[in-house]
A = this chain, B = another copy of it.
Amino acid sequence: MDRRQQKTRAAIFQAFIELLARKSYTRITVQEIIDLANVGRTTFYAHFETKDDLLKALCETLFGHIISSAADCVHTHGLYSDGNAPESVFCHLLQHLQENDHNILDLLSCESSEIFLRYFKDSLNELIQTQFVKQGKIGGTDIPQDFLINHISGSFVEMVLWWVKGRMKQTPEQLDLYFRAVIEPILLFTYREI
């Protein structure tokens, strides 16, 4: 890819992230983005059809890294390594988030965080889905597989939301323990051990 394109794309992303930290997605105008990114109007529209398109591209880029890294983790350790080992995918994901790679934390704590969390959840859902094979039984109740998957990915992103809104006072390891405690009973019955 052309260096100019890379620079322009990066500048637009950066400006967009900075603006998201200040105001809600809806209130951000294309004009503000191109002013801050210092690119021409024509250039912006050459890269992205609309503001929504930019949002989508940003999501794909940022979560693409995190999720594919988590996918590797899952393929080697499984969703949830046994016992108290710290290699659960969830811990891995939380650590990644804490490192604030590509300013992803700004997006998750900004006014429009729901947009990104929704994308995050969908990606996570696909990831978890690959790890489930059969229906789970908990306390004699038959529970559909997709209900469980949704419960896990949903709980996780809601936890992340709670975490970042509370200024991330807990460590990823702590959070992982909490999450295991509320999710473990389900995983034990449904997760395919590799």
Name the distance in Å between A29's Cβ and chain B's nearest Cβ: 13
* Residue of B whose beta carbon sits closest to that of A148: B182
Q: Is A45 an interface residue (CB 8 A)?
A: no
Residues of chain B contacted by A146 (CB below 8 angstroms): 162, 166
* Residue of B whose beta carbon sits closest to that of A144: B178
Q: Mark A119-150, 1 if CB is under 8 A from B, else 0.
A: 00100000000000000001101011011101
Residues of chain B contacted by A181 (CB below 8 angstroms): 138-139, 141, 143
Give the distance in Å from the alpha carbon of A177 to the alpha carbon of B137 in the complex: 12
Q: Which of B143, B159, B166, B178 contacts A141 (CB 8 A)?
A: B178
* Residue of B whose beta carbon sits closest to that of A138: B181
Q: Mark A17-52, 1 if CB is under 8 A from B, else 0.
A: 000000000100000000000000000000000001
CB–CB B158/A150 < 8 A: yes
Q: Is A173 an interface residue (CB 8 A)?
A: no
Give the distance in Å from the alpha carbon of A6 to the alpha carbon of B167 in the complex: 42
Give the distance in Å from the alpha carbon of A154 to the alpha carbon of B165 in the complex: 14
Task: Using known A-B contacts A141-B181, A182-B138, A185-B185, determine if residue A151 contacts B147 with beta carbons closer than 8 Å.
Answer: no
A residues adjacent to B (C-beta < 8 A): 26, 52, 114-115, 118, 121, 138-139, 141, 143-144, 146-148, 150-151, 154-155, 157-159, 161-162, 166, 177-178, 181-182, 184-186
**Sample of 18 further A-B pairs with CB below 8 A, known A139-B181, A155-B155:** A26-B26, A114-B118, A138-B181, A138-B182, A141-B177, A141-B178, A143-B182, A144-B178, A146-B162, A147-B178, A150-B158, A151-B159, A154-B159, A154-B162, A157-B158, A158-B158, A182-B186, A185-B185
